Amino acid sequence: MKKIVIALITIVFSTTAYAESSVWKLTSGNNNFYIAGSCHVLSKSDYPLPEEFELAYENVDQVIFETDLEALMRPEIQQLLMSIATYPGDDTLEKKLSRKSYAALAEYCNHNAIPISIFQKFKPWMVTMTLLAIELEKNGISSADGLELYLSEKIKRDGKNTGGLEDIQEHIKIISSFEEALDESIIENFVQEIEDLHIIAKDLIKSWKAGDEAKINEYLSGRLRKESPKLYERIIVDRNRRWISPLEDLINSGERTLVVVGVGHLAGEDSVINLLKSKGYKIEKLNVELHGQSP
């Protein structure tokens, strides 16, 4: 189950002199069009980024994310998201969980000096997301240092355009599906596997930096597909297919564009990359050797 939790927030991915990256270049006329796999959580030590990311960014006029990040941070949207993640009325986590699951959470909280009361209104999947963030931050890994926030700050400074492949309502539907796919056992399983979390996270980040598609697919798509096929279909396969139309619109617009999505969407047989290739697009890894190479 821990691999599902990691896949949900796309924690992803030593580099040798000629290593690949998680950045792809699509050849379409004379336009610069790139697709980069994102790691939503990183540590400060993961910067500077692999050179391919910076080269792609410098050679475009707009950066498109999975959804509009500015819209996602609006107070009304944050409030809506919180309503999805919390129990209504008098319902609480203690009332909803089995004794076994609640006891596992209580033991974790006691061991880590965390008041269990902060989780009482959270649904199980939201509890697990919070636990994940807490454990990663112990190891210096945080969404505050993730690729999206890093790029968002650069976009603001440089005045580049931005947007999203899916609108906010579509994004919210994806988040709403977590509750159905992930039951209360996710808490107990997560707590049981907590000791290995930082090792897995760091391994994924290394794989992301090196553009190791096989390892990324093994950790994310492969294990998610095996352990929760319904969730895999909803958050990976269905979205990848829906994104092809807006991606083609962006390609045909002639705008110099960098598209940034979770790297789990770019690895494996159901990936965005494979879908674009099946439609006849020429797309390949962007590689920069030590002596430098034009994108």
Residues 59, 54: Cα–Cα separation, whole Å: 9
In a domain, 292, yes or no: no
Q: Spell out the SS3 assignment of the chain.
A: CHHHHHHHCCCCCCCCCCCCCCEEEEEECCEEEEEEEECCCECHHHCCCCHHHHHHHHCCCEEEEEECHHHHCCHHHHHHHHHHHECCCCCCHHHHCCHHHHHHHHHHHHHCCCCHHHHCCECHHHHHHHHHHHHHHHCCCEHHHCHHHHHHHHHHHHCCEEEEEECHHHHHHHHHHHHHHCCCHHHHHHHHCHHHHHHHHHHHHHHHHHCCHHHHHHHHHHHHHHHCHHHHHHHHHHHHHHHHHHHHHHHHHCCCEEEEEEHHHHCCCCCHHHHHHHCCCEEEECCCCCCCCCC
pLDDT tens digit at each of 295 positions of the chain: 444 454 443 333 322 333 356 899 997 666 789 999 888 888 898 899 888 999 999 999 999 999 988 888 889 988 998 999 999 999 999 999 999 999 999 999 999 999 999 999 999 988 988 888 888 888 888 888 888 899 999 999 999 999 999 988 888 888 877 777 677 888 887 887 777 777 777 777 777 777 777 777 776 666 677 777 888 888 889 999 999 999 999 999 989 999 999 888 888 888 999 999 999 999 998 876 533 444 5
Does residue 228 fall inside a structural domain?
A: yes
Structural domain contains residue 70: yes
Within a domain: 68? yes
Number of domains in the chain: 1
**Taking the CB of residue 131, how many other CB atoms lie within 10 A of it?**
23
Is 294 inside any structural domain? no
Residue 295 maps to a domain: no
> How far from 162 is each of 76, 257, 295, CA to CA, in Å?
21, 9, 21
Which pTM does this prediction carry? 0.85
* Predicted pLDDT at 86: 93
pLDDT for position 180: 72
Residue 121: its pLDDT value, please?
95
Is residue 81 one of the residues assigned to a domain? Answer: yes
Asked whether residue 291 is domain-assigned, the answer is no
Look up the domain containing 256 and give its range. 2-285
CA dihedral of 57, 11, 143, 97, whole degrees rounded to 10 = 150
Q: What pLDDT is attached to residue 153?
A: 94
